[in-house]
Structure 1
Amino acid sequence: MEHRFRDRRDAGQALARALAGWRGVPGLQVLALPRGGVPVAAEVATALDAPLDVLVVRKVGWPAQPEVALAAIASGGAMVTNPHVLAVAGVEPDELEALAAAERRELERRERAYRGGRPPLDVAGRPVLVVDDGLATGATMLAALSALRALDVGKLGVAVPVGSPESVRRCRELADEVTCLLTPRDFGAVGAYYDLFPQVADEEVRHLLSR
């Protein structure tokens, strides 16, 4: 096993050191993918002296194996599918849409819960750094990047502590810059690269955003 991080905070601090070149970029906005990406992004935003917000993205799981992503949806209506998984699963378009509709409802609930009534920041024309705790299939991050491109952001960066080589490659097709500290050839689950990898509660997300 390659290098491991103690926890998400440790990973965020290591990531922030690799992102020093972003410090001082005018108008920089750090966006976290909740929930796991928020503790990582909080460390990055603090180190770069940039505001922190969330971009809510939901995985659309395969009912037979819910941890496997058929697609991902993001605020603004963007949806990125995983064609290979869809083919293997034999999921038809109408079934995918029904599964996605349920996730959209949860996406809207989380936006209300995390923001406490605050509108999302206007990112048009601004440099944006999107942070998560890791990239497995990459579908969630790709949905986020697609949504941000539709909002006409300026320079678009991705920053993660660990990711599969294939997911990092796919992100480079949409982002202007990708920073990934670890890209293990035999990639396992994201949590395998952390000593402590607990679920992140909504309350922790709200606390970090308010801070």
Structure 2
Amino acid sequence: MQNEQIYFKNRDVAAFRLLDVLPIESMKLEEWTVIAASYGGVPIAKIIANRLESNFDVLFTSKIMAPNNEDCEIAIVTETEEVVIHEELAKSFEISLDFIFAKSKQIYEKQLLKTVKLYREGDTIKSLENKNVLLVDEGLNTGLTMMACIKTAINLGAKSVSVATPILPSASVPTIESIADDLYYVKKLDHFIFIDFYYDKLENINFEDIKKLK
């Protein structure tokens, strides 16, 4: 039985549908830096960056999972060591902040630094001081990764931080809108399942793939 809730054939289609809701011409009046918030967001971000004739980058992040549930993300750490915690889940699993910050430091030192070194020869993401930043992803599940990316961009001195994603849960909209300057999306859903469910074809993208798209 065909899934009647497929909204996008693939990432390219999602990108062009997202371009339809972005005020591209007015955005072009200023300089932008388009940043992918995940590996899966890279192809979409690249298409948008090309249309905006803007700079492009990737913000590297890693999930911190609950110690007794490998499918449950309780926090996100970024390449600038920003940490955003899903506080309700942490409390319900009785996970201490000490554990989360110790784990985030371990992941940062053992994984993120290595990834940054391979992608940018060791440099962290370029300064965003007084830049207009557009964070792009293929969709949001919990929104935790995007929240971490917004926090990072703000702390790196961005003049404005906007978010563009093809699809997201309705529950994430007020959370994102509360800290981002603008939020652009094609579809929001009250009963969100997971990102892959709404794409006909969502191929896995790994580190080597994004290096080729650099």
- Measure the CA separation in 2 of the matches of 1:113 and 1:18: 34
Provide closer, same or farther for how the CA distance between residues 61 and 148 of structure 1 changes in structure 2, counting only shifts above 3 A: same
Please report how far the alpha carbon of residue 22 of structure 1 lies from its aligned counterpart in structure 2 after TM superposition. 5.2
The AA in structure 2 aligned to 1:41 is A
Deviations 1:168-198 (A, max 9, x none): 2211111000011111110011111111122
1:38-187 aligned at under 5 Å gives the runs 38-104=42-108, 105-117=110-122, 120-187=125-192
Query: 2:29: which partner in 1?
Result: 25
Percentage identity across paired residues of the two chains: 25
- Measure the CA separation in 1 of the matches of 2:183 and 2:15: 15
Once the two structures are overlaid, the 10-residue window that deviates more, 60-69 or 200-209, is: 60-69
Q: TM-score normalised to the size of structure 2?
A: 0.90
- Measure the CA separation in 2 of the matches of 1:27 and 1:3: 34
Structure 1 gaps of 5+ residues are none
The AA in structure 1 aligned to 2:212 is H
Match of 1:12 among 15, 25, 50: 15
The AA in structure 1 aligned to 2:186 is L
- Measure the CA separation in 2 of the matches of 1:23 and 1:173: 21
Is the contact between residue 159 and residue 178 of structure 1 (CA under 8 Å) also seen in structure 2? yes
Once the two structures are overlaid, the 10-residue window that deviates more, 14-23 or 104-113, is: 14-23
Provide closer, same or farther for how the CA distance between residues 195 and 22 of structure 1 changes in structure 2, counting only shifts above 3 A: farther
Once the two structures are overlaid, the 10-residue window that deviates more, 179-188 or 102-111, is: 102-111
- Measure the CA separation in 1 of the matches of 2:45 and 2:131: 17
Deviations 1:77-125 (A, max 9, x none): 2111101111121112222223212321312122122224566332100
The AA in structure 2 aligned to 1:165 is S
Query: 1:199: which partner in 2?
Result: 204
- Measure the CA separation in 1 of the matches of 2:149 and 2:140: 12
Please report how far the alpha carbon of residue 145 of structure 1 lies from its aligned counterpart in structure 2 after TM superposition. 0.6
The AA in structure 2 aligned to 1:54 is V
Provide closer, same or farther for how the CA distance between residues 206 and 131 of structure 1 changes in structure 2, counting only shifts above 3 A: same
Q: TM-score normalised to the size of structure 1?
A: 0.91
SS at match of 2:165: strand
Is the contact between residue 16 and residue 48 of structure 1 (CA under 8 Å) also seen in structure 2? no
Match of 1:37 among 28, 35, 41: 41
SS at match of 1:188: coil
Once the two structures are overlaid, the 10-residue window that deviates more, 112-121 or 51-60, is: 112-121
